[in-house]
Structure 1
Amino acid sequence: MRKEWILTEEEKLNKKRRIEENRRLRSAHTNESLLLKDNFNETINSTEKYDLDLQNVVLNRNYIYSSRSTSFRGNIDFIENVVTAFHDGFKLNPTSYGWSYPLAKKITALYQILNTKNTTALRLISFYKRLSEFDALNEIDKVNLVKSNLHFIFFFHSSLGYDPINDIYHEGIPSNDTPLYGSDIREAHGHDIYVRCTLIMRSLHSIVEMDRRIMQLTLVILLFSKGLSHFINCQEPSLNNYQQVLHAQNIYVEQLWIFLEQHYGSIQTIRTFTTLINKCMLIQALFRDIHQDINEKIDICQVPPIMRTLMHLS
């Protein structure tokens, strides 16, 4: 006689419950696996929507070797590491990413600005890839941060090479780089945007005159920011590991605060942070108008792919 034939009614009920529970657990595990697979595929699909040129530059390790040293003797060592990464990043001569606008056509001031910023973007990315905190991020978050914030960072970077006396912007370290002039901005975007941009730039340049390292640290703080693009009509992609990004940003904010307090005192530290925050808000409004102006004036097919992505042109 088979064993189950002599089970008591209670034992039969218990066995039935165990069978149903095992069936339920298997079903839940299957659903969870399918959900994880769907989420993974969704992540891959969203990544594929990014401009491939931007992905290749951000994730390519062939010509960039990140600085992985995270052991610093103190605040000065930390800051000098950023300065070294900045200078090394801006030695990049991106000849392989040439200007796509046909030479047979007249290169207007607006196209010249976009051309110059294309080179600046590649150098900024080269700079960021040398920082261990950026290098530690997952690939999707790296691309998301660059795509969401680099257009905003352009303004702060420009203050490093701005000559307020002659109204000239020197974008890079190489002396053979073609500078931009304030008149280029006026011709490209009109008098109102030119005046607003110049006022912001003069204020930021006053911080650069205190110490260039303040602005170089600010460039990193802004990269690890969230929500800078909310003034323009684009959906900022979510981050896979927001806590890691926030932690990285807090490191640089703390180091900048310590540096300012040690060299300039508490009052000047507060004033400097206040100025930077105020200019963030002004630049958000300014970029909204510049973004609209660019969309109305240019053929985006003639814009370098990386700039098309960074400027959210459609």
Structure 2
Amino acid sequence: MDWLCIRNIQDAYSSASRSVPSASSMLSLELTSDKMSSYTNSIDIHNFTMIKIINFLKQIPDFEQLNDSDRLILVKYNLCSLNLIRASLTFDTIRELYYEDDGDAYNPVSSNNKAFAEQCKSLYILCYSYELNRLFFNILHTIHGLIDNDPIIVQLLMLSMIFLKGLSSVDSQEPILDDSKHVFYLHSKYTDLLFRYLIKQSSFNTAVIKMMHFVEVFMKIQRLSKDFHQEIKSKIDVSYINPLMRSFLHFT
């Protein structure tokens, strides 16, 4: 095992998680009769996490060594999936809430964080269909069961996915990478590291089964992304969405 690499990934993740304020400290999610405001709030919540993920990736040398064009393509088309993977780490399977991750797995969830998570859930139920919410929570349940509350699994899975070309199901016109061969190598590198880590934590057979389940999860995430995109497009004037999230949701 390349424990030094894993340690550097852990440090990068922890640093990035503290790099921007929490959404709960910056947003007010009081329910309003203005449906458009509710929808935009439901999207703005993810803006903070997206920035944290970008800051995490910027501290990974393999990612930073890619050219600007390839980094932009990978982030634009894969970041929403990474957001869902990251959320599984703090997912409360009983109450079906996911809390903000400050990068310290040993910190207890604060009362403010719990209250904000409740508000987020209420907002999603208000804004989106029952079917979409159920698919979202079912995916989180599945991922949570696979990661065993292990941040390293989540971090390695995120790095494997960011280098996975064609993960997005929203835009069929995904641009061609300048160095697709090297990006595939990086995807293989972190997938192999994840697989070897899973073997170390359990057994070869268990690792194989988990990797197969991860592939199934990727397919479900693709369906969720497509359904989410269509639902937003049908209900929201996309000009109200902040530019960063508009890009990640493929409206620009």
**TM bracket (short chain):** 0.7 to 0.9
Task: Give the superposed CA RMSD.
Answer: 2.4
Aligned position for 1:227: 166
Whether contact under 8 Å (1:94, 1:122) holds in the other structure is no
Distance in 2 between the 1:234 and 1:312 partners? 11
Distance in 2 between the 1:203 and 1:78 partners? 27
Distance in 2 between the 1:164 and 1:271 partners? 22
Identity among equivalent positions (%) equals 26
Aligned position for 1:265: 203
- Relative to structure 1, the CA distance from residue 210 to residue 167 in structure 2 (aligned partners, 3 Å threshold; closer, same or farther) is closer
Distance in 1 between the 2:202 and 2:37 partners? 43
Q: How many residues align?
A: 236
Q: Given the alignment of the two structures, is residue 299 of structure 1 paired with residue 237 of structure 2, yes or no? A: yes
**What letter matches 2:55 in structure 1?**
S
Q: Given the alignment of the two structures, is residue 160 of structure 1 paired with residue 89 of structure 2, yes or no? A: yes
Distance in 2 between the 1:109 and 1:279 partners? 29
Distance in 2 between the 1:208 and 1:154 partners? 15
Residue correspondence of structure 1 range 157-306 to structure 2 within 5 A: 157-173=86-102, 178-179=116-117, 181-229=120-168, 231-306=169-244
Q: CA deviation at 1:185?
A: 2.5
Q: Secondary structure of 1:248's partner?
A: helix
Q: Given the alignment of the two structures, is residue 131 of structure 1 paired with residue 69 of structure 2, yes or no? A: no
- Counterpart of 1:121 (choices 40, 50, 75) is 50
Aligned position for 1:5: none
Q: Secondary structure of 2:203's partner?
A: helix
**What letter matches 1:252 in structure 2?**
Y
Deviations 1:71-122 (A, max 9, x none): xxx4222212111111111111169xx88xxxx9847543222111111111
Distance in 1 between the 2:64 and 2:21 partners? 21
- Relative to structure 1, the CA distance from residue 109 to residue 205 in structure 2 (aligned partners, 3 Å threshold; closer, same or farther) is farther
Larger RCO of the pair (alpha carbons < 8 Å, separation 6+): 2
Residue correspondence of structure 1 range 71-110 to structure 2 within 5 A: 74-93=1-20, 106=34, 108-110=37-39
Q: CA deviation at 1:312?
A: 0.7
Q: CA deviation at 1:184?
A: 2.9
Aligned position for 1:49: none
Whether contact under 8 Å (1:89, 1:123) holds in the other structure is yes
Q: Secondary structure of 1:198's partner?
A: helix
Q: Secondary structure of 1:235's partner?
A: coil
Q: Secondary structure of 1:226's partner?
A: coil
Distance in 1 between the 2:60 and 2:47 partners? 21
Distance in 1 between the 2:147 and 2:194 partners? 14
Whether contact under 8 Å (2:42, 2:120) holds in the other structure is no
Whether contact under 8 Å (1:257, 1:269) holds in the other structure is yes
TM-score by length of 1: 0.69
